[in-house]
Structure 1
Amino acid sequence: QLLAEIDGVERLDNVIIIGASNREDMIDPAILRPGRLDAKIQIGRPDAGGAVDIFGKYLTADLPLDEAELAAHDGDREATARALIGTVVEAMYADRPENRFLRVTYASGRQRMFDYADFASGAMIQNVVDRAKRAAIKQLIAGGAKGLSTRLLLEALDLEFAENESLPNTSDPDEWMRVSGRKGERVTHIARVRADRGHGGHAVDDGAEAEPVDPAGAGPAAGGGPRHRPIEAVPTDGEYL
């Protein structure tokens, strides 16, 4: 039915159809053939420049800002907001051990290291700002300084990264990578790279120990630390139902 409707639109003037999906691999090829949705525009994950623009949508000069941060920029709220954004983006995309996230092994045996920033998104950036706002409110209620500060933003970034550490625990690493927007060569193994993250935006690298994720869904692979209880088969008939 969708294809028939698209074909009908071709006879109209000044009408453009735009389709959007975050799973290109699941789109019916018939929709993408010439004459239908044949112009493909890929919007990737934000780089550092894109992250600055996105942060600018959520971390604006009209928000309560820390007095010390404002004083450092002669009371210029716009300059203060830009400085806060620049600091958190620099920390987010820095090439440092504590930003390592995953070691991915492909079917060819090739390995690649991914940082947290490789999986950055607008939603993640919004979460970082929202976390910092909540922390600023709690700080004010507790009698502390008012407003967003570099420390609160970097702590929020650390917490956001820490929450994402559990996401790759999947029985199908190849499927997880495709869902995350990393298509290409088939993935056979994912290992989380673990580094202790400190407070105040600082992190202490403990050797970037890798915790392999067992593709069979039984937790870390042998020799890679404590194993989790394997997922048990769930009956689909019989007395259990």
Structure 2
Amino acid sequence: MLLRREQYRRSDDPARCAAVVRNLLAGKIHNQRAVLARGWRDHGDRLTDVSAFQHALKRLKRIPQRILGETSVDVLRGLEGEAAQSYFSVFDQLVRADAPVLRFGGRNRRPPRDAFNALLSFLYTLLTHDCRSALETVGLDPAVGFLHRDRPGRPSLALDLAEEFRPLLGERLALSLINRRQLNERDFHIFDNGAVLLKDDARKTVLVAYQERKREQLQHAFLGDKVDIGLLPFVQAQLLARHLRGDLDGYPPFLWK
């Protein structure tokens, strides 16, 4: 109960709220850049617009520097939008699919208008569910966030926490599923209104890949230990709780290397 009271106080205090948001977004943008850097390393000879790709990498390196001293959550949201625009503007260069429906033409949702966005939306839903469970486990309220505004029925803090993991468990995994031909255009329903959704069998394929990815390990930059990817939401929820209790001066975001 004391932890949640501090969470609510922090959420209502613009300056202290911004301190958490800064670190969340610094982690997210770092991880977005890591996805592009991996793509550059793995597929640099296949990029269709090298100049645009390099420009996106440079912008994603500069934006976190602008985040560091910002005290307005609204301005921070704007910087997040700038980063997303740079990131997704070159994302299609990493997609190795010939079918037009599988190409990435920019982020869209509610409903998704292409197969790649349908896949991303499903992965984001899985990730948000994991983050919600992790927050509840450590005693935090998933509904009261810092970056995402509170709305009835919205798990705002779960959405906040998921931001850091979207590049790894969302975009990077989606690229793997499409580029390795684990999914193709026949795995998606295309409706008359333009909406695109995964078929049931394709959802099972994605779930298996998601669970397999969660069993992989990586080095946690802050803890210095190897951690199962599936435990990362719980680890980060614990670190957030420790920060809110005053055990850590700042929230240490998840940084993918």
What TM-score, normalized to structure 1?
Answer: 0.33
Q: Which has the higher strand share?
A: 1
Higher Cα Rg: structure 1 or 2? 1
Greater percentage in helix: 2
Q: Which has the higher contact order (CA 8 A, sep 6+)?
A: 2
